[in-house]
A and B are shown apart, each in its own frame.
Chain A
Amino acid sequence: MVSALHIITAALAAAFLLGLLKEQQRGLAYGITLLTLALMSWISAGWLWTFASTGTAAVEIFTAGTEPPFAINLRIGLAEAALTLLINLVGLLSALALKDTLLALGRRAMAVWLVAVMALSGIVLTRDLFNLFVFFELTVIASAGLVLLSEHAKNDGQALAAGFKYLIVSQFISAFLLIGIIFAYHATGTLNIDDMAAAAPLLGGGAAQAFALAFFLIFIAVVAELKPFPANGWALDIYESAHPAFSALFSAATGAAALFAVDKLLLIGGDAWLPMATGIGIVTFVAANLLALPQTNDRRLLGYSSIAQTGLILAVLGQRDILGEHTLYIAGGLLLSHAIAKAGLYWLSGLIAERGLEAWAALRGQPLLIFAFVSFISMLSGLPPFPGFYAKWELIHLLAGEGRIVLLGLILFGALLEAGYLFRWFGYIMKREAPTEVVDNVAHKFGAVFATLAALAAAWALSLVWGELAGLQFDRFNMLLALPLLFALAFLLLDWLPVWVKNSLAIAGLLAWFYLTYTEYDPLRMIFAVIFLIGGSLTLLASYHEHGRRIGFYPSAMLMFAGLAMLIRATDSFDFFVAWELLTVGSYFLILRGKHSEPHALSYILFSLGGAFLILAGFALATQGAPYFDLAALADLVQPLAPWVFLLLAIGFMTKTAAIGLHIWLPGAHAEAETDVSPMVSGILLKAGLYGLIVLLLTMGRQDFYGVELINAMLWIGALTALIGNLLAIFQEDAKRLLAYSSIGQMGYAMFGLALMNHLGWLMALMFVINHYVYKSMLFLSVGGVAKRTGTRQMYRMGGLITLMPLSFIATLIGIIAVSGVPPLSGFGGRWIFYNAILTAEARLPMILIFLAGPIAFLYLFRLIYTIFLGQLKDEFRRVKEAPFWIVLPQMIYVAILLVVAVVPGLVLRHVDAYLNHFFPNGGLIWEGTTITSQFGYWNPVAIMIIVGVIFMTLFAWLLFVNRRAQKVKQFNIVFSAERPFRPETTHFAWNFFAPYRKALGFLTLPLVTLFWSTMTDLLHTAGDLARRFYTGNGQTYAFHLLAFVVIVYLFGMGVRP
């Protein structure tokens, strides 16, 4: 094994060697630089492999052959090896990305580059305090020089100013550090970190106080290198103005090295200094994310994000007293995620010509680079399967276990802010107009592309490693290797195939998975399994309609289905949460595919992630420190914890079912999605939220929260959601929005049923689950098909399409009859069970809302079918054809299903009814022949169907007989107001269809919730924007910030000490 010392010597030697070369031999010099960096990486990699595979202890390296304190010693262990590998690799890849600049500037720039990387490795390796100072100084000087690299290309003085400001601030930092080291040495008599750590606690009296002050100076100096809020204006200017390849190094490597230095210092300071680290870290994390919100410059935004991530890791280091041996796993996961993602993003930014966030739309048309971008932002947001996800999971659990709730809340809040601006950015990439200069010929930027792809590979490799580690730690299977997830990821590799092949594969995959697993589900889960898997493949039939390759659709869709498939099989909290995140992310990408869905997809992902964080917090509270728990164990929770857990989980799940207050994402997301995506996200995805609620209620049931029965609150929320959803639906002009609001209402019904907490309430909710899947998928497809043919979703622009699109009409007709609950179709069963269920309910008042909501459904349903299919046909649609075959086919299958379920509801419900007896033994139904009897009433679907059918057919035959000479007339053969109409536009009564209703009850539809949430986001943005003005760009101001920071931290940290 090559000594780690040679990481440093190799760089120094090469830097000297470069000086010996001629100025013209730039190619050679560049080659030497790369080779040296590769050699340094290889040495680190070798050590990392040794430590990881054999688990040997850290190795001490004695320079000058003697032990400390007579000589400086270095140490390499697992963490050091990993960090130096990270630093050297980032150095190498950045050097590749910097090729043009380095070749233009020559050997001096390369030597400085080598010294910078070497110094960073030195910071990681050294165990000597003064040596640490030296390496920091080297870093500062080298960095200040390297900031100027971009000056070569731009020459606008910005980088020069940034470098100069950096130097000013560094002088302060160096002064603190040096003074601190002198006094610390004076107090303890050693410069060796480990010796000092051993000596410090033994100090007494005045020496101890003096040492504390000295240590404060050292500590604050090194922390200042982490760019803490607010003393970080200088760093932001660097991020903004420097060459992105240097920023990659500055963010990933410098940050990592400085964090490791803080970690070493905390060894000396001991536990007393941990709160200070936590405090600085978390303030920086939240503030930097807040400040990032209003940013429009990509590199500055990334700078804020870097600072935030560093703050988070500092906070984690400050929690080592409770994290213990997990610190390395958590901090490492966060750090590597941050470093790789940030380096990757900076390298990517080197490919983008302009600095606005919208300019990144240039990436469109480069699926691989977009995939890289997505991977990086997912990594930063802590989504599975990336290391940050495991780290966050464990961190939150340990914090919750120790009751550090405020910190937990702040971390999740900051993470949500960060996800907010990152995903907003992704929305820009996918949806904004691409600038003229697109990233088409990437050959000349080979270095940056290569570096980005290397980071991408590293990201996924690390995911595998962290999954494996999590597996070893908790004795479980690597989540990344779960079959559904692998299947979904495989579509990334298969994306070059034509749609019909991929679609067939996807359908086959869903069905095969159902075949493999169907024996595992109890009747309750079976309902969801059938909807998710069989239902999913049915919906996918519509996707055959698409042509070409449809890049990106299948990985997203299958990711969602993988999440759904894993969700119903999950038995413990970890699996459940992973599945939840996967389906959220997958569906986000699906929704984002719609033409105008950018803002809606963003609000979807934000609400979903917010909900997911609440679920995470709920799980973490419930486990009380354990890494995960069996979902069934939720039942064992007791006061005072249980209601809190219930509340967090319930609100989390309700974001998915779009309960009132949390519903504003749904209409846009469902309406703007593509034709075959709408039924997926509406008919299928919404059920995930209900499934969550079912799991929650089955285990936790009734909870009392400060005197409020939470089930009752849910009853009200369900009823209110049903009412407001339906009410809003009737005022929509856009057919898909109407259906989307209707979904909100329907989910309200289902939630209401669950909250009744009795046998029939649950049966009704499950019936709604099934029915809603069938008819909402059908209606979305039908309306989508019409919109495809007519080119509009505005209902008033359509009309009279019944003769041109008869099959779509039939589907819609059957659909609305089923939704409205009119016998003899299947919706009636739901209503009947509902009435029986409420007769045993405890609360009666919420029924008022539900009773009002019911008839309102008729209003929007009639509007849907009338304004599209009936009334007057418009001239421009006279040649419209029936919807495409593949969109009509699933509709016809749904029609058949609805008819079958209408006649024999027992086919499905009987088993569920019997199964529900386990949980609610009283009040089940009696199934006798074709009659279904409850405690209160009875109902015979077959008889109803026959009676209605016979009466209908008899009367129809009679009418046919007496009316046999009826003559079909043309469209305008009606007379009103003494004239014959000729313009369908003025004759089709469709726009503002329920105007009187708006007059009477329109006040209920004021967008109060939207107003609330938009005020919230506005407030956050305004706060970020105000705080941003803090950074004036003036070097003196920045120096003052630093001083103020030191004083404030001193007063907070030391001032209160005796």
Chain B
Amino acid sequence: MSFDWMKIPYALLTVFIVFNYGLLLGAFIQKIGARAGRRYGIPVWQNYVDLIKNYGQRTSITHGVMFYLGPVFRLTGGIGLLLFVPTIYGSYMFSNLSFAGDLILALYFVFFGTLGMALGAGESGHPHAAIGITRGLSQVSVAELPFALAVFAVALQYQTLSVTDIVAAQQGGVLNWTLFTNPLAVAAAMLAFLGSMMRPPFDVVIAPQEIPIGPPTEYHSAYLALMQTNRAIFPVAKMVIYMNLFFGGATSWPEFAVKVFLLYLFSAFVGVCFPRFRVEQSIRWFLIWAVPLGVQAILWV
């Protein structure tokens, strides 16, 4: 695990691919969701249009330093998360900057963007932002628990914290995937996954009706554009981790594309089927349904 300068253009290439894939994927999933609700939905290039529009806006305001930095934190979090984890297994080009740290680094770096964003939104002084953040933090504190247990179980199972080694251990056939070797952990993690994807039933954080779009409510123009960029990259980065930990990783970009799409579809599928939980309901739901699975996973591994 060492650094050489070529890693930088390679990493930028990963970011570029994932960014575009994320934009298209997001719109596509949106469209599937709309169709499930008997609506027509947005065109798949809509995200590009929005992004260009937001970057192009001529007026913008700021509420202060943290407000200004919030989106920067957010996008740094997304890009960093993507780059700290190898995207394509076995490829030097797309091992990214994973020499800097292992799985634990990735898991904790998730919070970097969240925290910065929360601080930025906080400085706007908009109560809806603060309400959204309290909801988000409350929910994530419990939703993370089954995932943490699953990660612990997986690390115990493979006796390593290195993402590359975990993927390596799953090679040689579908039945070697963690999904089949440690189904309880995967089940727990997938329930936790639902909690982090900002889709129903766990999307009270951005509840569009009561607290219009939650934390980002005051963000506009280039700030919003940065956050949209992140919204393309961050979920994919997160799903890369899931893919690597539980579904055998990806050895090529097409495999990557399929697995990420299916993972995304899972959350969208659940999302269109279930109505929204209140925060305390989702806390209880995670504790009652997801955590016991995780507990059994760490006991039986």
Contacts and interface: CB of A to CB of B under 8 A. Distances in A.
B5 interface: no
Contacts of A948: 76, 80, 112
A845 B301 CA distance: 13
Contacts of B69: 956
A973 B61 contact: yes
B232 interface: no
Given A859-B137, A951-B76, A989-B127, A802 B66 contact: yes
A866 B295 CA distance: 34
B129 to A, nearest CB: 8
A996 B99 contact: no
Interface in A921-955: 931, 934, 936-940, 943-944, 947-948, 951-952, 955
B172 interface: no
Interface residues of B, number: 84
Contacts of B162: 936-938
Given A870-B125, A974-B124, A989-B127, A851 B283 contact: no
A202 to B, nearest CB: 75
B270 to A, nearest CB: 21
Contacts of A854: 144, 148
B278 interface: yes
Given A851-B148, A936-B160, A862 B299 contact: no
A822 B111 contact: yes
Given A862-B118, A938-B101, A966-B68, A955 B108 contact: no
B60 interface: yes
A965 B58 CA distance: 8
Given A832-B104, A956-B69, A969 B298 contact: no
A732 to B, nearest CB: 15
A496 interface: no
Nearest to A1002: B280
Interface stretch (A419-427, A430-438, A646-654, A834-842): A834-842
A285 B285 CA distance: 56
Contact of A965 (B60, B128, B280): B60
B109 A859 contact: no
A862 B145 CA distance: 19
A747 interface: no
Contact of A851 (B126, B152, B155, B225): B152
Given A820-B111, A838-B152, A996-B283, A858 B141 contact: yes
Contacts of A997: 138, 141, 279-280, 283
Contacts of A993: 130, 134
B295 to A, nearest CB: 6
A253 B87 CA distance: 87
A955 B75 contact: yes
Interface stretch (B20-28, B215-223, B237-245, B249-257): B215-223
A999 interface: yes
A967 B159 contact: no
Nearest to A799: B125
Contacts of B1: 931, 938
B44 interface: no
Contacts of B140: 855, 858
B135 interface: yes
Interface string A791-817: 000000000101100000000010011
A844 B108 contact: no
Contacts of B161: 835-836, 839, 934, 936-937
A990 B71 CA distance: 23
Contacts, number: 247
Given A870-B119, A967-B62, A997-B283, A831 B72 contact: no
Nearest to B60: A966
Nearest to B54: A962
- Most chain A CB inside 10 Å of its own CB: which residue of B76, B111, B138: B138
Contact of A866 (B112, B122, B128, B278): B122
Contacts of A865: 119, 122
Nearest to A836: B161
Contact of B280 (A839, A974, A996): A996
A835 B125 contact: no
B117 to A, nearest CB: 11
B91 to A, nearest CB: 19
A821 B59 contact: no
A871 interface: yes
Nearest to A943: B100
B222 A963 contact: yes
A763 to B, nearest CB: 15
A994 B279 CA distance: 10
Interface in A961-1017: 962-963, 965-969, 971-974, 976, 987-990, 993-997, 999-1001
B189 interface: no
B280 A1000 contact: yes
Contacts of A820: 111, 115
A967 B59 contact: yes
Interface in A392-407: none
A996 B278 contact: yes
B203 interface: no
Given A832-B105, A859-B138, A866 B130 contact: yes
Contacts of B102: 936-939
Given A938-B101, A943-B100, A987-B125, A962 B55 contact: yes
A57 interface: no
A988 B126 CA distance: 8
A802 B61 CA distance: 18
B128 A976 contact: yes
B141 A856 contact: yes
Contact of A971 (B115, B125, B294, B295): B125
Contacts of A996: 134-135, 138, 278-280, 283
Contacts of B212: 976
B291 interface: yes
Given A939-B101, A948-B76, A1000-B283, A959 B71 contact: yes
Nearest to B211: A976
B111 A803 contact: no
B97 interface: yes
A862 B134 CA distance: 9
A983 to B, nearest CB: 12
A823 interface: yes
Nearest to B163: A937
Given A859-B141, A940-B100, A866 B118 contact: yes
Interface in B192-245: 212, 217-218, 221-223, 225-226
A956 B111 contact: no
8 contacts: A832-B101, A854-B144, A862-B115, A936-B159, A965-B58, A968-B62, A976-B217, A995-B134
Interface of B: 1, 3, 55, 58-66, 68-69, 71-73, 75-76, 79-80, 83-84, 97, 99-105, 108-109, 111-112, 115, 118-119, 122-128, 130-131, 133-135, 137-138, 140-142, 144-145, 148-149, 152, 155-156, 159-162, 212, 217-218, 221-223, 225-226, 278-280, 283-284, 291, 294-295, 298-299
Interface of A: 800, 802-803, 813, 816-817, 820-823, 828, 831-832, 835-836, 838-839, 844-845, 847-848, 851-852, 854-856, 858-859, 862, 865-866, 870-872, 931, 934, 936-940, 943-944, 947-948, 951-952, 955-956, 959, 962-963, 965-969, 971-974, 976, 987-990, 993-997, 999-1001
Given A862-B115, A967-B62, 18 more contacts: A821-B108, A839-B152, A839-B155, A847-B149, A937-B162, A938-B162, A944-B101, A948-B76, A951-B83, A959-B223, A965-B58, A967-B59, A968-B61, A968-B62, A972-B125, A976-B212, A996-B135, A996-B278
* A-B pairs, 7 with minimum CB distance: A937-B161, A937-B102, A996-B279, A870-B122, A855-B141, A1000-B280, A1000-B283
